[in-house]
């Protein structure tokens, strides 16, 4: 199916590796030019070269932090040269380790860190680049959150609280931007295989089996399955989907609504 985004400009944050990199590849495979934003320029340039070679689209690397106003201004300048973004995919970092029970999260520095990385960074990035999208009269915003915002998981308080905050922020944007031709949605993953991460050990066999047992499908989700949902929400066909959260968690969340 042609998703109708060939030639569109897609910004993907935290795209120097992992989920962000895979999403950038998925959008490029559909013909979108991509702008990659993350802190490590050497990694971004390497991924851009791979994307251009594999998908025959333009890929641009912009090194910077979602928490630095000057970096976001520079990113906005690069996007303005391309008449602004058509698609913005918001991928953010993880909360501080180690994971703890909620009452054990008694260090305010960890709460501040999680807030900055997972919520404030999203607000800063949106404020910096989305006005360009609104001016075009068409756009797709997709935020990667977590299924824990729907069904809180043990030892995930830092993630749950601020991913839920992103979800609320995206819903507010959806209400405000819909009449301007911009849709805003969330993708909430869980139990996705992360063995692709360079320099990071995959789950142990015991951990993997425990996670498989949490879903009726009896397996982990793949990166391709997650990226496919993101690509659809960025598509022309998803034009009547806004303010929604699409769970990609294999049926782990037990609630009806």
Reply yes or no on whether the pLDDT at 147 is more than 80.
yes
Tokens of 206: 């015991």
pLDDT of the residue at 198: 45
Report residue 257's pLDDT band, with 50, 70 and 90 as the boundaries. Answer: confident
What mean pLDDT is predicted for residues 174-184?
A: 98
Reply yes or no on whether the pLDDT at 196 is more than 60.
no
Q: pLDDT digit string (tens) for 64-99?
A: 999 999 999 999 999 999 999 999 999 999 989 998
The predicted model scores a pTM of 0.95
Distance CA(188)–CA(233), nearest Å, equals: 13
Reply yes or no on whether the pLDDT at 116 is more than 90.
yes
Reply yes or no on whether the pLDDT at 126 is more than 70.
yes
pLDDT of the residue at 10: 99
Distance CA(177)–CA(157), nearest Å, equals: 30
Q: pLDDT digit string (tens) for 197-222?
A: 544 455 678 888 998 999 999 999 99
Cβ atoms of 139 and 242 within 8 Å: the answer is: no
C-alpha dist (Å) from residue 77 to 33, 81, 91, 126: 16, 7, 20, 14
167: nearest Cα among 245, 59, 249, 222:
245
Distance CA(28)–CA(39), nearest Å, equals: 21
pLDDT of the residue at 202: 56
As a whole number, the mean pLDDT across the chain is: 95
The two beta strands, 33-38 and 59-63, are parallel
Which is more confidently placed, 256 or 50? 50
pLDDT of the residue at 252: 94
Percent pLDDT > 70 in the chain is 96
pLDDT of the residue at 199: 44
Q: Set out the domains of the chain in order of their start, with CATH numbers.
A: 9-247 (3.40.50.720)
SS3 string, the chain, reads: CCCCCCCCEEEEECCCCHHHHHHHHHHHHCCCEEEEEECCHHHHHHHHHHHHHHHCCCEEEEECCCCCHHHHHHHHHHHHCCCCCCEEEECCCCCCCCCCCHHHCCCHHHHHHHHHHHHHHHHHHHHHHHHHHHHHCCEEEEEECCHHHCCCCCCCHHHHHHHHHHHHHHHHHHHHHHHHCEEEEEEEECCECCCCCCCCCCCCHHHHHHHHCCCCCCCCECHHHHHHHHHHHCCHHHCCCCCCEEEECCCCCCCCC
Reply yes or no on whether the pLDDT at 13 is more than 80.
yes
């Amino acid at each position: 199916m042609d998703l109708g985004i060939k030639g569109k400009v897609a910004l993907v944050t935290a795209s120097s590796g992992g989920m962000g990199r895979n999403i950038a590849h998925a959008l490029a495979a559909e013909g979108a030019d991509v702008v990659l934003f993350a802190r490590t320029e050497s990694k971004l340039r390497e991924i851009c070269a791979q994307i251009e070679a594999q998908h025959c689209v333009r890929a641009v690397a912009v090194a910077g932090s979602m928490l630095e106003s000057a970096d976001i201004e520079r990113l906005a300048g690069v996007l303005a040269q391309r008449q602004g973004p058509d698609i913005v995919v918001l991928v953010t970092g993880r909360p501080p380790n180690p994971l703890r029970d909620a009452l054990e999260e008694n260090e305010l520095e960890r709460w501040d860190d999680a807030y900055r990385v997972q919520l404030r960074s999203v607000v800063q990035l949106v404020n910096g680049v989305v006005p360009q999208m609104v001016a075009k009269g068409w756009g797709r915003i997709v935020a990667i959150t977590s299924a824990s915002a729907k069904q809180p998981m043990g030892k995930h308080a830092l993630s749950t609280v601020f991913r839920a905050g992103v979800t609320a922020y995206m819903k507010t944007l959806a209400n405000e931007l819909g009449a301007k031709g911009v849709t805003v949605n969330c993708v909430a993953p869980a139990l996705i295989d992360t063995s692709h991460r360079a320099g990071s050990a995959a789950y142990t066999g015991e951990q993997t089996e425990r996670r498989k047992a949490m879903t009726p499908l009896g397996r982990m989700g793949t990166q391709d399955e997650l990226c496919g949902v993101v690509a659809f929400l960025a598509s022309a066909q998803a034009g009547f989907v806004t303010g929604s959260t699409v769970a990609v968690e294999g049926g782990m969340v037990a609630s009806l609504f």
